[in-house]
Copies of this chain bind each other. A is one copy, B any other.
Amino acid sequence: MKVTERLRNPPLGPGRCLSPARIHSTCPGGVCKRRTKIETMVDLTQLMENEVFMAFASYTTIVLSKMMFMSTATAFYRLTRKVFANPEDCASFGKGEIAKKYLRTDDRVERVRRAHLNDLENIVPFLGIGLLYSLSGPDLSTAILHFRLFVGARIYHTIAYLIPLPQPNRALAFFLGYGVTLSMAYRLLRSRLYL
Contact = CB atoms under 8 A, between A and B. Distances in A.
Interface string A46-67: 1111111111011111101101
Contact of A18 (B30, B36, B181): B36
A140 B2 contact: yes
Interface string A136-170: 11111000000010000000000001001111001
Contacts of A189: 58, 61-62
A21 interface: yes
Interface in A59-116: 59-62, 64-65, 67-68, 70-71, 85-86, 88-89, 91-92, 110-111, 114, 116
Contacts of A185: 61, 64-65
Interface residues of A, number: 96
Contact of A38 (B16, B91, B92, B111): B16
A80 to B, nearest CB: 16
B8 A137 contact: yes
Interface string A9-51: 0100011111111111000001000011011111111111111
A73 to B, nearest CB: 12
Contact of A40 (B46, B132, B135): B46
Interface of A: 2-4, 7-8, 10, 14-24, 30, 35-36, 38-55, 57-62, 64-65, 67-68, 70-71, 85-86, 88-89, 91-92, 110-111, 114, 116-117, 120-125, 127-129, 131-132, 135-140, 148, 161, 164-167, 170, 174, 178, 181-182, 185, 188-189, 192-195
